Structure 1
Amino acid sequence: MTTDRDQAKAEFISILKWIVLAAVLMVAGALFYLHWTGALSVHTVVATVLGVFFSVLLGCGLFAAAFFSDKSGIDRDVADATRQDRKP
């Protein structure tokens, strides 16, 4: 079981790296669009960088965490621990 968790952890870390890359690319795209439309100021840049980066990171990170918990067997452990054997 530890091998499943170790493999899931390695995949999770790899996915997080891709998520950070996607977030950086999204920020760059948003800043390019704002520059192109002419609505770029210091406050706009700071708000865009923080908002877009953390929104992408949070949304994708939660999906990655859900897949990690399933692949690592944590969901199965919790379900087994809380299951009550009921006899009819």
Structure 2
Amino acid sequence: MTGRSPLDDPENARFAWGRYRAILKGMAAFSTAVVVVVLAVLYWQVGLVSIHLFIATALGVWLTIMLMAALMGLVFLSSGTGHDESIEDRLGAERDR
């Protein structure tokens, strides 16, 4: 039988999702700083080639970092709240043999 997740409690869920949003806001600021550095290095290396190159680079770098932050944040959210321990382990008995 599946246990109750700590995220079922509204107060725990509010705290956990607030922490997740704070992580994402911090990573958005960090990602923006990385994009500025990358664009400066790109301009220094190749000069002004095409605005489309700079836009594509900025979006690619920013979205890649944010995707990583969102997925890792969800891992931390799930693990940090005890949600992972509340699942039913159907393979537990088979694994323990």
Q: Same fold (TM over 0.5)?
A: yes
Residue 30 of structure 2 is aligned to residue 42 of structure 1: no
Q: Is the 8 A contact 1:24 1:53 kept in 2?
A: yes
Distance 2:78 2:92 in 1: 24
Which whole-Å CA distance do the structure 2 matches of 1:70 and 1:28 have between them? 33
Cα displacement (A) at 1:83: 4.2
SS at match of 1:73: coil
Q: For structure 2, list consecutive stretches of 5 or more residues without a partner in the other structure.
A: 1-5
| Corresponding residue of 2:40 | 32
Q: CA RMSD in A?
A: 2.1
Cα offsets for 1:7-39 (capped at 9, x unmatched): 211111100100111111111111111111134
**1:60-87, CA deviations, whole angstroms, 9 ceiling, x for partnerless residues?**
221111001112332222x2x344785x
- Between structures 1 and 2, the one with greater helix share: 1
* Aligned counterpart in structure 1 of residue 68 of structure 2, from 59, 64, 75: 59
More RCO (CA 8 Å, sep 6+) = 2
CA separation in 2, counterparts of 1:38 and 1:29? Answer: 14
Q: What displacement does 1:59 show?
A: 1.2
Q: TM-score, normalised by structure 1?
A: 0.79
Calculate percent identity across the aligned residue pairs.
27
Instruction: List 4+ stretches of structure 1 deviating above 6 A.
Output: none
The size of the alignment, in residue pairs, is: 85
Structure 1 alignment gaps of length 5 or more: none
